[in-house]
């Protein structure tokens, strides 16, 4: 945490008069002012506005006409909402599972089983690349990969095996979206877990080997227990960010075909920016804002300061 | 398990006793591990190889065999592009916009995070602990859920006379503020870590020499953490360069487009997609992140938990 300043008498420590107090305050303004201003304008104010908007029927005219609980009543009777809730659950659960398990496997294989440091590094670099790629480009590559035409990679492979082309995005939109997000998420898990595995004292693993433990036993009895916190962190963190994220879905399928891949957050986006029902969109988004706020506090309680921020530096 | 490669861990007499069956099992396990890794990593490699091959040829077989080399796909660099009846604007103003956007985000993130990081690390004031935990909470909170409300804020700002067109909707500068605000909590926390490591003696020396806090920050402390600031700046630049969703939602006019919007527009109706042109534009857009990746992937992977050797 922060280093405490050694106290020296007389150096802005004992504000006496009101003027001195004001002067003292003025010292902080340039340092914290811009930060607080941005946080207030783009975090706190939007939370308030989302809440207020969800009680209005604001449309393209951008007028505040309060309609009470109409939006929420509509939310409960909207025939498409149960389907979207189901999609969201599938998307979050499967992607999160994929991310954590696959991230763990990649980390384990490239740090523990692959003994040569450089080879492990090559594989981890490959998996890091999609993270560094702007989302539009990443999606172009996927569009080609699963393209319904004969140009697509999967279809070219099928042709080689004597099978006809398939429109993969139309047939299996959810599976592909889980993979698209999974590759990115697994690489995050991989970075965190690799670092955690490497920080396990080598002596521990050697001692287990001398005692005749098999690789599987070492993984189960030493590595997994030592990775308890990173794995838990990754699960909670990914669940929250997946609930709120929809950028790749928007780019790849835009929720289609026929709402097959529409998730909660994307639905809020569509209501607001495609049908221009800002009020109704805000009420759908409000659910996520509330979930987000609660989850964030739970995370802070569960992991504390350090655990919450440290992996973030690597994941950025 | 590790038979030959690590002689220090296993004494030689033990190695000799490992039966043949066991050695075969270990070798088989290794082959299994490597083939699994190669198999799951191959699709990613194929995608990037395809992107490159497609951009320099008219047709690509299986992602890595270019059929006929051509630079025609790169035609967007020297003029307007027409596909069907649609004409796309020249790419250079778009590149300029992208640069301005990324530089704007970098400048704002670095400025605000070094200021607030310093205060969080060095100042003693009531509520410092609360402010620190707020920074962390803001980082964990998914800011994208607030998109609709931020749209309204930008809309309201847009109607303000004079400054409205600069910081409101349809202006990259308006989005610079939004994007920076989302990046700043994490940046401030990282910068705070750098400040924590600086000895107080340096700062005291500055005050003894008559500096104010602001002067000490700018003239004495900031130069010491320059490498740290550079890394924060690079990450902010790349985040700005790659940004899509906020720009896509808040920018309407082609003249304010950035590369992500330009490429998205090229994707267009994906039944008639021109992969050659698309991959060339995508590759062009990817140059900065790619350069960064090539130069730093080793240290990127080593940024870790506790800073143990990587």
Residues B261-268 have a mean pLDDT of 85
Q: How far is CA A103 from CA A111, A292, A314, in A?
A: 12, 24, 14
- Show the domains of chain A with their CATH numbers: 70-315 (1.10.3720.10)
Query: In whole angstroms, what is the distance from residue A305 CA to residue A41 CA?
Result: 25
By CA distance, what is B130's nearest residue in A? A305
- pLDDT band at B146; cut points 50, 70, 90: very high
Nearest chain B CA: its distance from A47 CA (Å): 7
pLDDT score of B108: 96
Q: Which residues, other chains included, contact B65 with Cβ-Cβ below 8 Å and sequence gap of 6+? A: B53
Quick one: three-class SS letters along chain B?
CCCCCCCCCCCHHHHHHCCHHHHHHHHHHHHHHHHHHHHHHHHHHHHHHHHHHHHCECCEECCCEECCECCHHHHHHHCCEEECCEEECCHHHHHHHHHHHHHHHHHHHHHHHHHHHHHHHHCCCCCHHHHHHHHHHHHHCCHHHHHHHHHHHHHHHHCCCCCHHHHCCCCHHHHHHHHHHHHHHHHHHHHHHHHHCCCHHHHHHHHHCCCCHHHHHHHHHHHHCHHHHHHHHHHHHHHHHHCCHHHHHHCCCHHHCCHHHHHHHHHCCHHHCCHHHHHHHHHHHHHHHHHHHHHHHHHHHHCCHHHCCC
pLDDT score of B303: 44
pLDDT score of B14: 57
Cross-chain Cβ contact A27/B213 below 8 Å: yes
B293 falls within a domain: no
Q: Is residue A70 scored above 70 in pLDDT?
A: yes
Residues B98 and B65 occupy one common structural domain:
no
Share of chain B above pLDDT 90, in %: 29
Instruction: Give whichever of A150-154, A167-171, B145-149 has the largest mean pLDDT.
Output: B145-149
Residues B130 and B277 occupy one common structural domain:
yes
- Phi, psi dihedrals of residue B76, rounded to the nearest 5°: -65, -15
Rg of chain A in Å (alpha carbons): 25
B300 falls within a domain: no
Residues B43 and B94 occupy one common structural domain:
no
ipTM of the complex: 0.87
Q: Is B162 on the interface with A (CB under 8 A)?
A: no
What are the pLDDT digits (tens) for A157-181?
Answer: 888 888 888 888 888 899 999 999 9
Q: B113 contacts in A (CB within 8 Å)?
A: 35
pLDDT score of B210: 86
Q: Is B170 on the interface with A (CB under 8 A)?
A: no
Cross-chain Cβ contact B300/A215 below 8 Å: no
Q: Is B218 on the interface with A (CB under 8 A)?
A: no
B52 falls within a domain: yes
B296 falls within a domain: no
Of B301, B309, B29, the C-alpha closest to A113 is B29
Query: In whole angstroms, what is the distance from residue A159 CA to residue B236 CA?
Result: 44
* Nearest residue, CB atoms, B301 vs list A50, A121, A245: A121
Q: Is residue B293 scored above 50 in pLDDT?
A: yes
Residues B59 and B122 occupy one common structural domain:
no
The pTM for the full model equals 0.86
Q: Is residue B266 scored above 90 in pLDDT?
A: no
Q: Which residues are B69's β-sheet partners?
A: B57
- Phi, psi dihedrals of residue B301, rounded to the nearest 5°: -75, -15
Residues B62 and B97 occupy one common structural domain:
no
- pLDDT band at A257; cut points 50, 70, 90: confident
Residues B288-301 have a mean pLDDT of 75
Cross-chain Cβ contact B115/A34 below 8 Å: yes
Residues B157 and B33 occupy one common structural domain:
no
Instruction: Give whichever of A217-231, B8-22, B36-50, B113-127 has the largest mean pLDDT.
Output: B36-50
B82 falls within a domain: no
Cross-chain Cβ contact A296/B141 below 8 Å: yes
Residues B58 and B93 occupy one common structural domain:
no
Round the average pLDDT of chain A to a whole number and report it.
Answer: 85
| Number of structural domains found in chain B | 2
For residue B21, give its domain range: 1-69
Q: Is residue B271 scored above 80 in pLDDT?
A: no
Q: Is residue B82 scored above 80 in pLDDT?
A: no
Q: Is B300 on the interface with A (CB under 8 A)?
A: yes
By CA distance, what is B113's nearest residue in A? A35
Query: What is the sign, positive or negative, of the torsion defined by CA atoms of A74, B248, B145, B269?
Result: positive
Is the model more confident about B158 or about B15?
B158
B75 falls within a domain: no
B77-112 as b/e, with b when 16 or more CB fall inside 10 Å? eeeebeeeeeebeebeebbebbbebbbbbbbbbbeb
Two structure tokens written together for A291: 């979930």
pLDDT score of A21: 77
Q: Which residues are B83's β-sheet partners?
A: B86
Query: In whole angstroms, what is the distance from residue A267 CA to residue A255 CA?
Result: 8
Cross-chain Cβ contact B112/A5 below 8 Å: no
Residues B38-66 have a mean pLDDT of 84
Is the model more confident about B16 or about B276?
B276
Is the model more confident about A117 or about B109?
B109
- pLDDT band at A3; cut points 50, 70, 90: low
Cross-chain Cβ contact B150/A312 below 8 Å: no
Q: Is B211 on the interface with A (CB under 8 A)?
A: no
Q: Which residues are B61's β-sheet partners?
A: B65
What are the pLDDT digits (tens) for A23-65?
Answer: 777 888 888 999 999 999 999 999 999 999 999 988 888 888 8
Give yes or no for a cis peptide into A257 (omega within 30° of 0): yes
Q: Is B252 on the interface with A (CB under 8 A)?
A: no
pLDDT score of A2: 46
B78 falls within a domain: no
Check which CATH number belongs to the domain holding B225 and give it. Answer: 1.10.3720.10
**Candidate from A239-248, B61-70, B100-109, B216-225 with smallest mean pLDDT:** B61-70
Residues B64 and B130 occupy one common structural domain:
no
| Structural contact between residues B70 and B57, judged by C-beta atoms closer than 8 angstroms | yes
Nearest chain A CA: its distance from B85 CA (Å): 22
Cross-chain Cβ contact A251/B264 below 8 Å: yes
Residues A196-216 have a mean pLDDT of 86
Nearest chain B CA: its distance from A275 CA (Å): 13
What number of C-beta contacts closer than 8 Å exist between A and B? 308
Q: A150 contacts in B (CB within 8 Å)?
A: none
Residues B163 and B276 occupy one common structural domain:
yes
Residues B94 and B46 occupy one common structural domain:
no
Q: Is residue B272 scored above 80 in pLDDT?
A: no
B213 falls within a domain: yes
| Structural contact between residues A267 and A38, judged by C-beta atoms closer than 8 angstroms | no
What are the pLDDT digits (tens) for A77-101?
Answer: 888 999 999 999 999 999 999 999 9
pLDDT score of B309: 26
Q: Is B148 on the interface with A (CB under 8 A)?
A: yes
Residues B61 and B117 occupy one common structural domain:
no
Cross-chain Cβ contact A140/B278 below 8 Å: yes
Q: Is residue B45 scored above 90 in pLDDT?
A: yes
Cross-chain Cβ contact B286/A137 below 8 Å: yes
Q: B298 contacts in A (CB within 8 Å)?
A: 121
Q: Is residue A1 scored above 60 in pLDDT?
A: no
By CA distance, what is A3's nearest residue in B? B196
Residues B202-223 have a mean pLDDT of 86
Query: In whole angstroms, what is the distance from residue A154 CA to residue A149 CA?
Result: 10
Residues B151 and B65 occupy one common structural domain:
no
Q: Is residue B137 scored above 80 in pLDDT?
A: yes
């Amino acid at each position: 945490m922060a280093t405490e300043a050694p106290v020296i008498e007389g150096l802005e420590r004992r504000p006496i008069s009101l003027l001195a107090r004001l002067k003292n305050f003025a010292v902080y303004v340039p340092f914290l002012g811009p930060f607080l201003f941005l946080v207030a304008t783009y975090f706190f104010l939007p939370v308030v506005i989302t809440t207020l908007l969800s009680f209005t029927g604001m449309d393209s005219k951008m007028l505040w006409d309060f309609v009470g609980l109409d939006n929420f009543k509509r939310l409960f009777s909207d025939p498409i909402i149960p389907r979207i809730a189901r999609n969201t659950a599938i998307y979050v659960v499967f992607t999160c599972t994929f991310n954590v398990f696959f991230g763990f496997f990649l980390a384990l294989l490239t740090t523990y089983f692959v003994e040569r440091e450089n080879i492990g590094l090559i594989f981890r670099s490959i998996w890091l690349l999609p993270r560094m790629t702007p989302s539009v480009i990443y999606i172009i590559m996927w569009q080609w990969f699963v393209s319904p035409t004969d140009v697509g990679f999967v279809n070219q492979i099928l042709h080689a095996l004597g099978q006809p082309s398939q429109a993969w995005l139309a047939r299996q939109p959810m599976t592909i979206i889980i993979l698209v997000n999974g590759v990115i998420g697994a690489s995050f898990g991989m970075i965190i877990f690799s670092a955690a595995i490497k920080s396990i004292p080598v002596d521990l693993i050697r001692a287990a080997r001398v005692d005749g433990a098999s690789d599987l036993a070492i993984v189960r009895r030493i590595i997994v227990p030592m990775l308890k916190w990173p794995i838990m962190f990754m699960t909670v963190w990914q669940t929250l960010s997946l609930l709120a994220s929809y950028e790749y879905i928007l780019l790849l399928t835009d929720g289609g075909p026929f709402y097959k891949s529409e998730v909660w957050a994307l639905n809020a986006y569509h209501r607001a920016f495609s049908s221009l029902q800002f009020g109704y969109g805000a009420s759908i988004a409000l659910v996520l804002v509330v979930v987000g706020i609660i989850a964030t506090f739970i995370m802070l309680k569960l992991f504390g300061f350090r655990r919450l921020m440290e992996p973030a530096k690597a994941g950025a | 398990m590790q038979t030959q490669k690590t002689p220090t861990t296993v004494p030689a007499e033990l190695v000799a006793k490992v039966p043949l069956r066991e050695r075969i099992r270990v070798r088989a396990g290794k082959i299994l591990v490597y083939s699994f890794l190669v198999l799951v990593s191959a699709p990613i490699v194929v995608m990037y190889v395809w992107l490159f091959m497609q951009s320099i040829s008219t047709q690509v077989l299986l992602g890595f065999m270019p059929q006929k080399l051509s630079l025609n796909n790169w035609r967007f660099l020297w003029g307007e592009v027409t596909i069907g009846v649609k004409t796309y604007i020249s790419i250079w103003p778009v590149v300029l916009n992208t640069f301005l956007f990324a530089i704007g985000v970098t400048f704002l993130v670095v400025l605000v995070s070094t200021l607030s990081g310093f205060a969080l690390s060095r100042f003693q004031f009531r509520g410092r602990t609360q402010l620190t935990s707020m920074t962390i909470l803001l980082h964990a909170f998914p800011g994208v859920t607030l998109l609709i409300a931020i749209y309204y804020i930008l809309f309201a700002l847009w109607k303000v006379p004079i400054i409205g067109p600069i910081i409101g909707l349809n202006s990259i500068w308006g989005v610079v503020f939004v994007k920076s605000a989302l990046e700043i909590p994490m940046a401030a926390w990282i910068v705070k870590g750098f400040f924590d490591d600086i000895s107080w003696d340096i700062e005291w020396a500055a005050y003894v020499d008559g500096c104010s806090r602001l002067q000490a920050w700018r003239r004495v402390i900031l130069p010491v953490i320059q490498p740290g600031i550079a890394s924060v700046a690079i990450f902010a630049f790349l985040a700005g360069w790659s940004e899509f969703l906020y720009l896509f939602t808040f920018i309407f006019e082609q003249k304010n487009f950035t590369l992500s919007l330009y490429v998205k527009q090229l994707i267009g109706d994906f039944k008639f997609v021109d992969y050659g042109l698309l991959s060339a534009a995508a590759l062009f857009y990817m140059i900065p992140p790619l350069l960064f990746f090539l130069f730093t992937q080793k240290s990127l992977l080593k940024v870790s938990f506790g800073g143990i050797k990587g």
